[in-house]
């Protein structure tokens, strides 16, 4: 038994049961105080447990087969699921922006794999499923939240600025110039959680990846390096994704004659 194995603390069924019971107690407090979040919390917890366990089995299967085709097939399924989640999370957005969302998520994943995975981590073999799939999952989780918030803010802000936009267009402004204040506000809004996590990591926050590696017996310094790479990469790619989605969707708010068109 090596040091890493000796110092690891695997979670058994009892640990999962205690965790679920803790959530149930919190939901009970919500019910007693009539906060109205107990049902959502319980459902989200059960759904999270089932999804994570299922993904754990799937990733284990893909790692054991060690096939690039299986790894990329799983990543493709993750992208499709991310599109659906993004469209459901973003409020009051036109449904015809789905191709732009697909392009943004796919470009982010390709950039992450080609630059970060292959140039920073450099796994062996290059398609190592343990690296490709997990890195893609972490990236998509953050990008989905960021672009959903950014799109929601953009279309809401455009509607609130409707008369200002029409005035700018009548004075000769281009659609991009008229939409720019909403684009800037939306990108900033989408980046707030990511930047806050990056800035607070290591001082008031030990992020999940680093904490998990240390608990599992990894060297804390190595875990810190991995966590920094993940956070910095996610921040950079999230900003790129936010910028790309805004560059793609702002045109939806205008007709071919450069007239403002409210979101359907």
Total number of domains constituting the chain: 2
Burial class (CB in 10 A: 0-12, 13-18, 19+), 151: buried
- Structural domain contains residue 262: no
Distance CA 237, CA 104 (A): 10
Per-residue pLDDT tens over the stretch 40-79: 889 999 988 898 899 889 989 999 998 999 999 999 999 9
- 206 and 221 both lie in a single domain: yes
Structural domain containing residue 51: 1-65
- 3 and 18 both lie in a single domain: yes
Here the tokens at position 162 are 């409707």
Distance CA 19, CA 42 (A): 12
Q: How confident is the model at residue 142 (pLDDT cuts 50, 70, 90)?
A: confident
DSSP type of residue 256: T
The three-state secondary structure class of 201 is strand
- Structural domain contains residue 143: yes
- Structural domain contains residue 258: no
User: What is residue 6's predicted lDDT score, i.e. its pLDDT?
Assistant: 46
- Structural domain contains residue 84: yes
- 127 and 37 both lie in a single domain: no
- 129 and 61 both lie in a single domain: no
- 228 and 245 both lie in a single domain: yes
- 56 and 95 both lie in a single domain: no
- Structural domain contains residue 260: no
């Amino acid at each position: 038994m090596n040091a890493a194995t000796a110092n690891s603390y695997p979670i058994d069924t009892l640990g999962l049961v205690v965790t679920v019971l803790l959530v149930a107690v919190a939901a009970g407090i919500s019910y007693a105080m009539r906060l109205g979040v107990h049902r959502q919390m319980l459902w989200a917890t059960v759904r999270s447990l089932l999804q994570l366990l299922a993904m754990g089995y799937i990733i284990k299967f893909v790692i054991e087969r060690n096939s690039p085709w299986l790894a990329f097939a799983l990543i493709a399924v993750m992208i499709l699921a991310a599109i659906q989640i993004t469209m459901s999370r973003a409020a009051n957005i036109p449904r015809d922006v789905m191709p732009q969302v697909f392009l943004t998520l796919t470009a982010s994943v390709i950039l992450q794999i080609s630059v970060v995975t292959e140039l920073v981590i450099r796994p062996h073999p290059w398609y190592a499923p343990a690296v490709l799939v997990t890195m893609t999952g972490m990236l998509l989780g953050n990008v989905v939240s960021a672009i959903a918030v950014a799109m929601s803010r953009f279309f809401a802000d455009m509607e609130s600025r409707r008369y200002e936009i029409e005035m700018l267009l009548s004075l000769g402004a281009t659609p991009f110039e008229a939409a720019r204040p909403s684009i800037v506000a939306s990108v900033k809004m989408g980046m707030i959680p990511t930047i806050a996590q990056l800035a607070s990591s290591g001082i008031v926050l030990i992020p999940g990846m680093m904490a998990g590696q240390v608990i599992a017996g990894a060297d804390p310094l190595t875990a810190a390096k991995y966590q920094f790479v993940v956070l910095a990469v996610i921040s950079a790619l999230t900003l790129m994704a936010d910028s790309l989605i805004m560059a793609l969707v702002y045109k939806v708010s205008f007709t071919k004659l450069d007239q403002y068109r409210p979101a359907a």
